[in-house]
Amino acid sequence: MSKAEIGVFGLAVMGSNLALNIADHGYKVALSNRTSSKIDQMMESAGELAGRFIPNTGLGAFVRSIKKPRAIIIMVKAGKPVDLTIQALLEHMEEGDAIIEAGNANYRDSMRRFEELRARGIGFLGVGVSGGEEGARFGPSIMAGGSKDQWHNAEEILTAISAKFNGEPCAAYLGTSGAGHFVKTIHNGIEYADMQMIAEVFGVMRDGLGMTPAECAQVFKKWNEGPLNSYLIEITGLVLEAVDEKTGKPLVELILDKAGQKGTGRWSAIAAQELGVAATTIEGAVAARAISALKEERIAAQSVYGAPGAGEAKMSLGQLEQALLAGKIAAYAQGFAIMKKASEENGWELPLGTIARIWRAGCIIRSGFLDQMAKSYEKDHAVNLLVAPDFVEIMQASSDALRNVVAAGALGAFPLPCLSAALAYFDGYRRAEGTANLIQGQRDFFGAHGFVLTDREGEQHGDWPSTL
Ligand code: 6PG
């Protein structure tokens, strides 16, 4: 029997869909999983593609069934399960083989794994895969980091299975170890901010404008045909119009308002903090999920303060649309700023234009304006999106609406942590004369930390009075 071109270990939804996607493109795929029942299930449901799979429960047989130099995609739960899987596979792999880790790994783990495997002569690619279940099956966005040689070995298959935007593959090598998973982490940070801002707007429509989910759905559908066109706006319309079969009620009204999180949004905010980059929209989104989880406490707090008023929001749907647009630009600006700084710190040389290009299709944050964003970053790699000419125009046209929405939200007690963070970021970034002069004075007062005077050279100190 001829050998497989690639192996896939880990056949939960994402792994099995990736394997089916690879087989669909004509490649022979070796399959394995910790429990054999998943392999059986996969073979039973593979239909015509079953002939392209070589299933094996035993790891030795699985590895041997792959052509050398072997490439094995592992798609298991992030963290310890990845290390245990690598350890087990290593017993059977040989120098020159490679592991492609395609889960939502912490980028620092990918850096460590890259070094550990390199010491044993095994290649490692840490690959961010976005697009959820459907993406994995029919074309995800693929963000690779690791050794360039390993990328070249796997490039043909990863490019073939990726999403295509106007025929261009949404898969790319982004830099050395850790780069791929870092970019995926920031993708998810932007995803969190984008989702949260949409949810904030939904909250205003529901509680401030008294709209039903079905009415909101119609608005999101309309917005999806304009500048907000994106996958997340599209699925928002679909989620809002879904009806629970049992009760006939809008499904969204029955879904408990506690958001889960697997960690990538938080990692994104932590990375930004570590790098000293403002990521307030992402932080706002992570914090909003944390508050959402406190359902019982929120119920108790509402009984203390009383229910906020409803039906009072002084804002129009047009303003909400524009506010969302401005907020999204701020969130992307922050996400790209984090990547720019991380790239400098880690020597990754992250190609920001390419990243925007491979996010144009396949991934969860795909949206109409990523093409424009790609062009902006290709023209000027270092630019903050807020001052990229194409986006300046959009911000000029939409920031007043964002300001109105945030102001009306504050007056109506609608929590808008992400939209208000976006506005504060915009206002802080565009203001030449800030207030950090006072911070510097305070720091020098209590800690002699020093400051720079605008009319003198060198570090200075104030002659502060004693407070004793
Ligand atoms: C993607 C998604 C995917 C997954 C998130 C969900 O790009 O395909 O981001 O990776 O849906 O991990 O993350 P939370 O559970 O943290 O919302």
Judgement on whether residues 193 and 145 belong to the same structural domain of the protein:
no
List of residues 6+ apart from 319 with CB closer than 8 A? 401, 404, 405
Answer yes or no: is 93 within a domain: yes
pLDDT per residue as tens digits for the range 212-242:
999 999 999 999 999 999 999 999 999 999 9
Judgement on whether residues 231 and 360 belong to the same structural domain of the protein:
yes
CA of 265: how far to CAs of 284, 338, 361, in Å?
A: 10, 13, 21
Number of domains in the chain: 2
Answer yes or no: is 373 within a domain: yes
Atom of ligand 1 nearest to the CA of 262: 16
pLDDT per residue as tens digits for the range 318-352:
999 999 999 999 999 999 999 999 999 998 999 99
Judgement on whether residues 123 and 212 belong to the same structural domain of the protein:
no
Answer yes or no: is 447 within a domain: no
Q: Is 191 in the pocket of ligand 1 (CB under 6 A)?
A: yes
Judgement on whether residues 169 and 214 belong to the same structural domain of the protein:
no
Question: How far apart are the CA of 188 and the centre of ligand 1, in A?
Answer: 6
Overall average pLDDT of the 117-139 stretch: 97
Residue 142: pLDDT over 90:
yes
Judgement on whether residues 151 and 210 belong to the same structural domain of the protein:
no
Separation of CA 284 from chain center: 14
pLDDT category at 311 given cuts 50, 70, 90 is low
Overall average pLDDT of the 110-138 stretch: 97
Residue type for 247, please? T
Judgement on whether residues 62 and 102 belong to the same structural domain of the protein:
yes
Task: Say if residues 127 and 110 touch (Cβ distance below 8 Å).
Answer: no
Answer yes or no: is 445 within a domain: no
Overall average pLDDT of the 58-80 stretch: 96
Q: Is 77 in the pocket of ligand 1 (CB under 6 A)?
A: no
Overall average pLDDT of the 13-28 stretch: 97
Q: Nearest-CA neighbor of 275 among 348, 339, 336?
A: 339
322: domain CATH number is 1.10.1040.10
Answer yes or no: is 438 within a domain: no
Is 29 in a helix, a strand, or coil? strand
Residue type for 10, please? G
Give the pLDDT score at 211.
96
Judgement on whether residues 241 and 284 belong to the same structural domain of the protein:
yes
Express as a percent the part of the chain with pLDDT over 70: 99
Map tokens 């099956």 to a residue.
137
12: domain CATH number is 3.40.50.720
pLDDT category at 382 given cuts 50, 70, 90 is confident
Ligand 1 mutation pick, 364, 366, 370, max ligand atoms within 8 A of CB: 364
pLDDT per residue as tens digits for the range 393-402:
999 999 999 9
Q: What is the CA radius of gyration of the chain?
A: 25
Question: How far apart are the CA of 75 and the centre of ligand 1, in A?
Answer: 14
Q: Is 189 in the pocket of ligand 1 (CB under 6 A)?
A: no
Overall average pLDDT of the 292-318 stretch: 89
Judgement on whether residues 246 and 173 belong to the same structural domain of the protein:
no
Judgement on whether residues 204 and 324 belong to the same structural domain of the protein:
yes
Judgement on whether residues 371 and 287 belong to the same structural domain of the protein:
yes
Task: Say if residues 72 and 9 touch (Cβ distance below 8 Å).
Answer: yes
Give the pLDDT score at 79.
94
Q: Is 188 in the pocket of ligand 1 (CB under 6 A)?
A: yes
Give the pLDDT score at 313.
72
Answer yes or no: is 463 within a domain: no
- Show the domain range for 103: 6-177
- Last-in-domain residue among 122, 155, 177: 177
Atom of ligand 1 nearest to the CA of 140: 8
Judgement on whether residues 155 and 33 belong to the same structural domain of the protein:
yes
Judgement on whether residues 351 and 214 belong to the same structural domain of the protein:
yes
Answer yes or no: is 465 within a domain: no
Is 75 in a helix, a strand, or coil? coil
pLDDT category at 1 given cuts 50, 70, 90 is confident
CA of 112: how far to CAs of 35, 115, 146, 258, in Å?
A: 27, 5, 11, 34
Give the pLDDT score at 310.
62
Instruction: For the sheet with 71-74, list strands across it.
Output: 53-55, 29-32, 6-9, 71-74, 98-101, 123-130, 141-146, 171-175
DSSP secondary structure code for residue 120 in this structure: T
